[in-house]
Amino acid sequence: MTVSQREIDNAARAINAGELVAFPTETVYGLGADALNKDAIRKVFALKGRPSTNPLIVHCRGIAHARMFAADWPDHAHDLANRFWPGPLTIVVRKNAFIPPIATANGDTVALRVPANDTARALIEAASVPLVGPSANPSGTISPTTAQHVQDAFPDLLVLDDGPCTTGVESTVVTFAHVTPRVLRPGVLGHEELGVAPFEATSGSDGSSSDPKTSPGLFKSHYAPRARLVLDQDVPGAERLHLPDNAADAARELYARLRALDSTGTDTIVANTPKGTGPIWDAIRDRLRRAAAPAD
């Protein structure tokens, strides 16, 4: 951890005062606020320009902390929490009354996660509250994997800089609420390893859903660069996305490379859909498809 305890304490004071702080996680940087403070949560939606129908993930200290906010805690969810927390897994369960409705878009479920990053964990510990933590980017744009990415979009925001994120794509979201346990958002942890049903990209013809039982906010056009992203086609004059051959390296580099190409000012970025197998490549393909989907 490259962040000092002094910086952590300072950030925790800001959180406790109802302010926002960007913090690193192993996946992407998060926009943190006190998950028990509805005014602070309102600021998160406002700063991101996030639709109020898209619920937030609540970041917790550990399993016991997360369970405080759950109305149900199925055995299978517990087993996964035991095996993969801290780590890039978000578990959706039925919520109790502790987390304000605004955080969960008035739904009856809550998404819980224990991040595997020492700075994130120290911040949750020092603030003594769970933190909402959407990715620290304006809604619909590429998630930030460095503190600089956050600062580029939000120059006035306090950012805890712990260097580049090691995983690079957002956590796998798994739901245990209402339905057969299944993946709502692919991530580096795959459905087979988790023992749940796979992700299905079928949440309505426009790819979006406002039904919290399915995949709220998993809008088809998401994670998008400013330039148009075209998959598996050549476009003269376009910038081309190259990814490392190793899946973990590719996931770690994906967003920074898309940003770098975007910042050339090009109109068009082209990419080949990677052919690799396994959950990490599945997650990368998912993000590329979303980035290439036309904005609504």
Q: How far is the CB of 272 from ligand TXA (least distance, A)?
A: 25
**DSSP string for 25-87:** -SSS-EEEEETT-HHHHHHHHHHHT--TTSPPEEE-SSHHHHHTTBS---HHHHHHHHHH-SS
Q: Which is nearer to ligand TXA, 57 or 66 (CB)?
A: 57
Q: Which helix (H) or strand (E) holds 185?
A: strand 182-185
Residue 55 interacts with, from ligand TXA, Mg ion, none (CB under 5-8 Å by kind):
ligand TXA
Binding mask 82-101 for ligand TXA (x = CB under 6 A): --------x-x---------
DSSP state of 283: H
Q: How far is the CB of 223 from Mg ion (least distance, A)?
A: 7
Q: Which is nearer to ligand TXA, 37 or 135 (CB)?
A: 135
CA distance 150 to 30: 9
Q: Is 55 in the site for ligand TXA (CB under 6 A)?
A: yes
Q: Work out which of 35, 85, 99, 109 binds ligand TXA, going by CB under 6 A.
A: 109
CA distance 45 to 20: 11
Least Cα distance to 270 among 244, 232, 296, 243 occurs for 232
Residue 92 interacts with, from ligand TXA, Mg ion, none (CB under 5-8 Å by kind):
ligand TXA
Least Cα distance to 240 among 282, 268, 278, 215 occurs for 268
Per CB under 6 A, contacts with ligand TXA among 2-31 are: 25, 27-28, 30
Q: Is 135 in the site for Mg ion (CB under 5 A)?
A: yes
Q: Which helix (H) or strand (E) holds 287?
A: helix 279-292
Residue 133 interacts with, from ligand TXA, Mg ion, none (CB under 5-8 Å by kind):
ligand TXA
Q: Which is nearer to Mg ion, 90 or 266 (CB)?
A: 90
- Residue holding tokens 């990415």? 149
Q: Is 212 in the site for ligand TXA (CB under 6 A)?
A: yes
Other CB atoms within 10 A of residue 136 CB = 29
**DSSP string for 97-158:** SSS-GGGGTT-SEEEEE----HHHHHHHHHHTS-EE--BSS-TTBPPPSSHHHHHHH-TTSE
> Across the chain, how many H-helices and E-strands are there?
9, 12
Binding mask 229-258 for ligand TXA (x = CB under 6 A): ------------------------------
Binding mask 22-61 for Mg ion (x = CB under 5 A): ----------------------------------------
Q: How far is the CB of 149 from ligand TXA (least distance, A)?
A: 12
CA distance 197 to 174: 9
Q: Which is nearer to Mg ion, 135 or 215 (CB)?
A: 135
Per CB under 5 A, contacts with Mg ion among 171-200 are: none
- Cα 202 from chain centroid (whole Å): 20
Residues near ligand TXA, by CB under 6 A:
25, 27-28, 30, 54-57, 90, 92, 104, 107, 109-111, 113, 115, 133-135, 170-171, 173, 175, 184-185, 212, 216-218
Residues near Mg ion, by CB under 5 A:
135
